[in-house]
Chains A and B, each alone.
Chain A
Amino acid sequence: MRMRRSTSAVLFFGASLLPLAAARAEEPASSGKDKDKGAEVVVTGTRTPEQSQRATVRVDVVTRDEAERRGATNVAEAIAGQPGVQINPSAYGDIGNPSAIQIQGLDRQRVLILEDGERVIGDVGGAIDLSRMPLSDVARVEVVAGPMSSLYGTSAIGGVVNVVTGQPLHPGFSGRARLEGRNRRGVIAQGNAAWRGERLWATLDGNFFRTDGVSLVEDAVDLAMPSRLQGMLGVRVGGNLNERTRIQGRVRWIHDASEGRTSQIVPGLGTYRIDLPQRTDRFTVHLVELVDLGRGRSLRLALGQQWAFDTTQKDRYESPIDETRERTATLSSLETTATFADGRRTWVVGMRTEVEKLSQSLTRAELVSGSVQTSTIEELVPVTLGSVAGYAQLGWKLFDSLTLLAGGRAEMHLRYGGVAVPRLALSYQPTSSVTVRASVGRGFRAPAAKEIGFAFDHGALGYRVLGNPDLRPETSWGTSGDVSYRSKNGFQVRGSVFANWIDGLIDIDIRPAASQGGIDDYTYRNIGRARTFGAQIDGSYTLAGVLRAEAGYSYLWTRDDEHERPLEGRPPHTVVSALRADLPWRLELVARYRMVTDAFLDEGLRTPGFQTIDARIARPIFRGARAYAGVLNALGVQKDPSRLGDQRPVQGRTLYVGLTADFPAEEP
Chain B
Amino acid sequence: MKRSFLAAAIPLLLCACSEEVGKPSTTGEPGPVDTGLKLEVPVPADGRVYVSLAKPEIVVPEGDASMSTAWDLAFEKYDVFTNSGASGDGEGGAFGPLDAVTYDEGIAPTIPFMTKDEAGGAFRDFWAYEPSAHLLWVRYHVFGVRDGDKQWKVQVLGYYAEQQGAPVSAIYRVRWAEVTSAGVGATQTLADIDGTAGGSGAPLDVPNECLDLGTGARTMHTPAEALTTKDWHLCFRRASITVNGELGGPRGVTAVDLNASETKGETLDIVKARTDDSELPRFDKVGYAELSDPKLIWRGDRIFSAFSEYWIDREASAPAPAKSSWLVQSAADGVTRYLLVFDSFDGATADGPGKVTLRVKPEGVVTQ
Contacts and interface: CB of A to CB of B under 8 A. Distances in A.
Nearest to B271: A267
A462 to B, nearest CB: 7
Contact of A367 (B11, B129, B163, B240): B163
A482 interface: yes
Interface string B54-94: 00000000000000000000000000000011100000000
A510 B133 CA distance: 19
Contact of A370 (B10, B163, B165, B166): B163
A564 B136 contact: no
B166 A319 contact: yes
B116 A512 contact: yes
Interface in B122-158: 129, 133-138, 157-158
Contacts of B23: 564
B345 interface: no
B19 interface: yes
B56 to A, nearest CB: 24
A462 B85 CA distance: 13
Nearest to A264: B133
Contacts of A566: 19, 21
In this complex, the interface size class of chain B, counting residues with CB under 8 Å from chain A, is: 35 or more
A497 B19 contact: no
A555 B11 CA distance: 13
A510 B112 contact: yes
B162 A316 contact: no
Contacts of A469: none
Nearest to B132: A94
A610 B315 CA distance: 53
B160 A268 contact: yes
Interface string A344-374: 0000000000000000000000111110110
Contacts of B5: 483, 495
Interface stretch (B167-175, B259-267, B282-290): B167-175
B1 interface: yes
B238 interface: yes
A460 B200 contact: yes
Interface in A16-35: none
Contacts of B272: 267
Contacts of B1: 434, 483, 485
Nearest to B157: A268
Contacts of A563: 110
B25 to A, nearest CB: 12
B202 A268 contact: no
Interface string A312-326: 000011111100000
A314 to B, nearest CB: 10
B200 A459 contact: yes
Contacts of A535: 8-9, 12
Contacts of A459: 200-201
Interface string A508-533: 00111001011010000000000101
A603 B11 contact: no
Contacts of B12: 497, 499, 533-535, 555, 557
Given A268-B173, A375-B201, A515-B84, A319 B165 contact: yes
Given A367-B166, A368-B196, A512 B8 contact: no
A373 B164 CA distance: 12
B27 interface: no
Interface string A267-287: 111001000000000000000
Given A267-B158, A268-B158, A557-B17, A320 B164 contact: yes
B198 interface: yes
Contacts, number: 148
B21 A497 contact: no
Contact of A496 (B8, B15, B161, B198): B8
Nearest to A482: B8
A458 interface: yes
B160 A457 contact: no
Contacts of B196: 367-369
A447 to B, nearest CB: 23
Interface string A467-496: 000000000000101110100000000011
A266 B85 CA distance: 32
Contacts of A434: 1
A432 to B, nearest CB: 15
Given A367-B168, A462-B239, A266 B160 contact: yes
Given A272-B167, A495-B5, 16 more contacts: A264-B167, A267-B160, A268-B159, A268-B160, A367-B199, A369-B198, A436-B4, A458-B134, A459-B201, A495-B8, A496-B8, A497-B8, A497-B11, A564-B22, A565-B20, A565-B22
Interface of A: 264-269, 272, 316-321, 366-370, 372-373, 375, 377, 434, 436, 438, 457-462, 479, 481-483, 485, 495-499, 510-512, 515, 517-518, 520, 531, 533-535, 555, 557, 559, 563-566, 572, 600, 603
Interface of B: 1, 4-5, 7-12, 15-17, 19-23, 84-86, 110, 112-114, 116, 118-119, 129, 133-138, 157-170, 173, 194, 196, 198-202, 204, 238-240, 272, 276
Q: Report, nearest first, the 7 A-B pairs whose CB atoms are least far apart.
A: A319-B165, A321-B166, A268-B158, A460-B200, A319-B166, A266-B167, A499-B11
